[in-house]
A = this chain, B = another copy of it.
Amino acid sequence: MSKRIALMGAGIIASGVGRTLMSNGYELNCYNRTKANASDLIDAGAQYFDTPAAAAADAEFVLSAVWNKEALDHVMLGPDGLYANAVEGQMFIDMSTQLPATAVSAAAEFAKKGAFFLDAPIHGSKAEANSGGLWIMAGGERTAYDKSLELLSVLGETVHYMGGSGKGYASKLCGNHLVSTVVAAVCESIVLASKAGIDPEEIVKVWMESDFRSPVVGGVGGSVINRDFDVSFHLRTMVKDTELIRNFSESLNVPVFLSNIVHEVNKVGENMGFGDENASAVVKVFEHMAGTEVKKIKG
């Protein structure tokens, strides 16, 4: 495998992915709609190009990790986009979160050029991206997956083949269904506990011993208790993703009562002005609705 990789995007995940690649001996071509946001990657040694096509020109593997469908279209479409300039045998791997249908049409577009596409979104956020500790779920042709596994293994603690085109995105959306509901459940429950006069720190301690202990329970609990809404995953990103879950479940006629409630409560959080805070800031919606505020009792 050529050690030169092209990367589209410069957000939290893309930056971590880029850095992990370079620290593993890969050379990096990069492109981002707003060049300024790519300065970290450039400073770390990545070579910046002015168009997606230019960045991808000499790369066997082209990764992307962008914000949403519109951002993906930006790198894919147009005369300087990846579709128009793909060459035979090139492997395009998108790690962002999209609807499964997006993967199906992307794979078809690249196939016209004899190129390949994998939807390979991830669980994990900043810390895991920076350390090659992501959990990767890939969809697409099995042979394309097999050819990409070595590269994906640099980025992910584990890599899973989930099935044909779109199954990666679909898996990611199901995972985000679960985690977004857990985040909201932790917040709704802590608000209830706090209004009942229970020390939130003590109850999260119990949870982290019990059978429902999990990093996300501990992380959200700690964030709420310490009123630390520093971003590892934006609330507005959660809203974007739960909207995808809604559209995805809609396309399968699967009712998602729980996920809908979570989505709407997160939207209220955006309307209250918390979109740019961490996803756990949704606790402030639950607090407002309950007419209370979570407060430590001890220390």
Contacts and interface: CB of A to CB of B under 8 A. Distances in A.
Nearest to A289: B268
A289 B261 contact: no
A284 interface: no
A270 interface: yes
Interface stretch (A4-12, A67-75, A212-220): A212-220
Contact of A192 (B197, B202, B203, B254): B254
Q: How large is the interface on A (under 10, 10 to 19, 20 to 34, 35 or more residues)?
A: 35 or more
A250 B258 contact: no
23 contacts: A123-B212, A163-B297, A167-B198, A174-B189, A174-B192, A174-B193, A175-B203, A175-B212, A178-B186, A178-B189, A178-B212, A182-B185, A192-B252, A192-B256, A195-B254, A196-B252, A213-B214, A253-B290, A254-B292, A255-B289, A256-B264, A257-B265, A271-B290
A211 B270 CA distance: 24
A47 interface: no
Q: Which secondary structure dominates where chain A touches chain B?
A: helix
A235 interface: no
A188 interface: yes
A163 to B, nearest CB: 6
7 shortest A-B CB distances, which residue pairs?
A: A271-B291, A214-B214, A255-B264, A181-B185, A211-B215, A123-B210, A174-B193
A52 B158 CA distance: 55
A249 B258 CA distance: 18
A185 B178 contact: yes
Nearest to A122: B210
A198 B174 contact: yes
A27 interface: no
Given A135-B206, A211-B215, A262-B258, A177 B192 contact: yes
